[in-house]
Structure 1
Amino acid sequence: MSIPVIDLRGAQVPGGARSAEVAAQLRAAAMASGFFYLRGHGLPQPLLERQFALAERLLTLPADTRQALDMRHSPTLRGFENLGAQTLDASARPDLKESFYCGMAYPADHPYVRAGYQTYGHNQWPAEVPEAPAQCEAYIQAMLGLSRRLMQLLALSLGLPENWFDASSGSPMVTLRMIRYPAHPADADARTFGAGAHTDWGAITILAQDGHGGLEVQTPEGDWVAAAPIEGCFVVNLGDMIPRWTNGLYHSNPHRVRNTHSGGAPRYSIPFFYEPDYFARIEAVPGTVPAGEQPRFAPCTAGEHLQQMYRKSYGMDAKTGITATS
């Protein structure tokens, strides 16, 4: 299996001339691995370059600066994550990566912020990088627009009105993560990964990766294939909310990272995780449950889905937690 390349040109806005064609391509990808490359997305290249430059600057700050802004000090778990702090695959060793988390700049009086819901709240910013808040917010807004458009195309791919999912994106849960993977150890065993095998928990992940590669995707047959970088393309994958929304018709497949192609250099990646409004209803959409059958998943809200995943993965019963990675 190869990961398909989908060109968004001609379908970047509702009613675009190629919208039906792109929706059909999305359907095929979603029913296979749930992964595809996306070109023609319209994101300005300078914005992407500034984001990678910012990622490198943040993740090479002095250790004491990063420690002071460790995500464990944040009620919404934003800030820096230490090397080896996360183990995405319980059967593997701790992940060989370090990262910085941030999210949308919701105001302090937003009801979801006041309630302490997942991903709603303050960010932690290092004073040494004063441009970080504005740069990250600009990138988040660009990714949010692209995510909403992909959700519209997913609706079309399911035979639904293009605006079917629009109402679910009132106050979305989004996370921007910048990740630095050190070189893979020469003496690493088979249980050592930059990021262990996992699926993402939300709706859509849009990944920008540098030129080194290292991302691997598991096919429906159980094989692992490389998602090597393609210039001008994002890697997009569907998260676990999409199978719930489609009664299992569309897939959220495992993926992992090993930084073995960089010649000893660190690998940087920037995943953007789109999740709908905390109270968005996640249930099988029309046309996905065969006549006479019951839905495979119980209905829930997006917030309830995330809480279920945190309990399953971390034994947590909290409103906040750590988002998966690519």
Structure 2
Amino acid sequence: MGIPLIDLSGALQPGAPRSPAVMAVADQLRQACMGAGFFYVRDHGVPLDVIARQFELAQQFFDLPLASKEAISLHHSPAMRGYESLGGQTLDANARPDLKESFYCGLDYAAEHPYVQRGYHSYGSNQWPEGLPELATQSRTYIAAMRQLALRLMQLLALSLDLPEDYFDHTHQSPMLTLRLLRYPPHPESADALTFGAGEHTDWGAITLLAQDHHGGLEVKLPTGEWVAATPIEGALVVNLGDMIPRWTNGLYRSNPHRVRNVHSGGAPRHSIPFFYTPDYEAQVVPVPTCVHAGESPRFAPCTVGEHLQAMYRKTYGLGQTATSTTPASATVMA
């Protein structure tokens, strides 16, 4: 078992009949989601020059003076958008703080939006650094492209579960979309077994779409317990399932652990750009009918997206907030 590569050409347009090409992709997704919980996608519709420019601007951002980055610390933002310094997160509670720095941004939600009024995390406005004006416009372009791909993948996942293509569409009203720019310093030569760029963890939302540079470093734990490298493939994105999907599929589809060690870069920093797609904060997460057979009880209690995420934020950050308090916009980090 490894991480499969799925060609999305011919399956990107929604609303078409269940053509052989679309259903072939749906079947490949089903097999990947029942196994690795990870897969690569190529011919995914996101312009490669848009991805390349996002990497260029990410590097420019991280090269700014520390004071310029700290000026937009995520702790200054009610929506927890902005810069997170090296060691600011510990994804594996049994390991050392993660060796990475990052920048969070996402959809801009107006102050009048009811979710902003209620204080839900990930709903609000962004912070942008001075001296790098293109980062805001480019990031919005990138978010729009990844959002379109994420919504299509959710439709293909529905087809893979023998559900109507639009089964999950109602959960997309006010989604939590988080773009995270990441830089990992070289892995220390003196590092012990508890040192990682990102410790072992699962993601918490629905799906993550990852663009990674050519260095690699992402490792995926297969159901067999084996760790395998998610080696970069030119032009392809890595997709993995978050914990929402096992809840929706009653455990049929997997959200598998992964971690990062920047050990292949020859002493250079590693950059990656994960895009986290999470449905509407108030959307209900209940096992879909095709995954609960007659006489079988659901493995997961019903909850809202927000209730699940708050539990994970508290676990990762050691927080004790209530369900509507402001916590980090997306603590998931994947590679």
User: Which one is further off, 272-281 or 306-315?
Assistant: 306-315
Whether the 8 Å CA contact 1:69–1:79 is kept in 2: the answer is yes
Whether the 8 Å CA contact 2:313–2:331 is kept in 1: the answer is no
Whether the 8 Å CA contact 1:175–1:323 is kept in 2: the answer is no
**Partner Cα distance (1:105, 1:118) in 2:** 12
Asked if 1:316 is matched to 2:323, the reply is no
Match of 2:162 in 1: 159
Give the TM-score normalised by the residue count of structure 2.
Answer: 0.95
Residues 111-130 of structure 1 mapped to structure 2, 5 A cutoff: 111-130=114-133
**Partner Cα distance (2:331, 2:95) in 1:** 18
How high is the sequence identity, in percent, across the aligned residues?
A: 63
Match of 1:83 in 2: 86
TM superposition shift of 1:275: 0.3
Whether the 8 Å CA contact 1:101–1:177 is kept in 2: the answer is yes
SS in 2 for 1:37: strand
TM superposition shift of 1:204: 0.3
- Find the partner of 2:258 among 252, 255, 260: 255
Asked if 1:225 is matched to 2:233, the reply is no
- Find the partner of 1:57 among 50, 57, 60: 60
TM superposition shift of 1:290: 2.3
- Find the partner of 2:153 among 143, 150, 157: 150
Match of 1:303 in 2: 306
Structure 1 residues 125-162: Cα deviation after superposition (integer angstroms, max 9, x where no partner): 11211111111111001100000000000000000000
- Amino acid of the structure 2 residue aligned with 1:324: T
Residues 71-110 of structure 1 mapped to structure 2, 5 A cutoff: 71-110=74-113
Match of 2:212 in 1: 209
TM superposition shift of 1:311: 2.9
User: Which one is further off, 227-236 or 307-316?
Assistant: 307-316
Give the TM-score normalised by the residue count of structure 1.
Answer: 0.98
**Partner Cα distance (2:287, 2:275) in 1:** 25
Asked if 1:264 is matched to 2:267, the reply is yes
- Find the partner of 2:199 among 196, 211, 215: 196
SS in 2 for 1:277: coil
SS in 2 for 1:90: coil
Structure 1 stretches lacking a partner, 5+ long: none
- Amino acid of the structure 2 residue aligned with 1:280: A
Structure 1 residues 243-283: Cα deviation after superposition (integer angstroms, max 9, x where no partner): 00000010000000000000001000000000001111100
Match of 2:23 in 1: 20
**Partner Cα distance (1:189, 1:291) in 2:** 50
- Amino acid of the structure 2 residue aligned with 1:316: G
**Partner Cα distance (2:199, 2:156) in 1:** 30
**Partner Cα distance (2:315, 2:56) in 1:** 35
Structure 2 stretches lacking a partner, 5+ long: none
Match of 2:238 in 1: 235
